[in-house]
Amino acid sequence: LSGGSDAPCTVPNPIEGIWAACNHYVSEQSLSIQEALNLYTRNAALISFDEKDRGSLEKGKRADMVVVNRNPLKLDKTDLRSLKVERLLLEGKPYVTGQGKVTLIARGLMNGGKCI
């Protein structure tokens, strides 16, 4: 199982999806923060047969990642929505607006979930 969105029909912000996975209205169906993070990292790479290049931080992998303002594993699950993206790295290099290497998700992350 992996995480994702129906963007552009829904917010393409993975932080929102992680929050939702951890805060299901039926508490027995909620995931732990680690399980929810895995949906959007390791599991997403496995499902797309990309685990050799993506999904975890290891030598030789692409290093596409976000840096957030706080450690999500130290937060209460209800506070996950307060996470803010501080940096976006694509192939280990800082993302700079206007370089042409942007996706809908990258734009959403850098604009607080808005696709503009």
pTM (2 d.p.): 0.79
Q: Does residue 116 register a pLDDT over 70? A: no
DSSP code at position 70: S
Of the candidates 84, 100, 109, 83, which has an alpha carbon nearest to the alpha carbon of residue 12? 109
HEC secondary structure over 20-59: HHHCCCCHHHCCCHHHHHHHHCHHHHHHCCCCCCCCCCCC
Instruction: State pLDDT tens for residues 40-59.
Output: 999 999 999 999 999 999 99
Identify whether the C-beta of residue 17 lies closer than 8 Å to the C-beta of residue 33. Answer: no
Identify whether the C-beta of residue 51 lies closer than 8 Å to the C-beta of residue 58. Answer: no
Instruction: State pLDDT tens for residues 2-41.
Output: 988 887 777 778 999 999 999 999 999 999 999 999 999 9
Assign 105 a pLDDT band (cuts: 50, 70, 90).
low
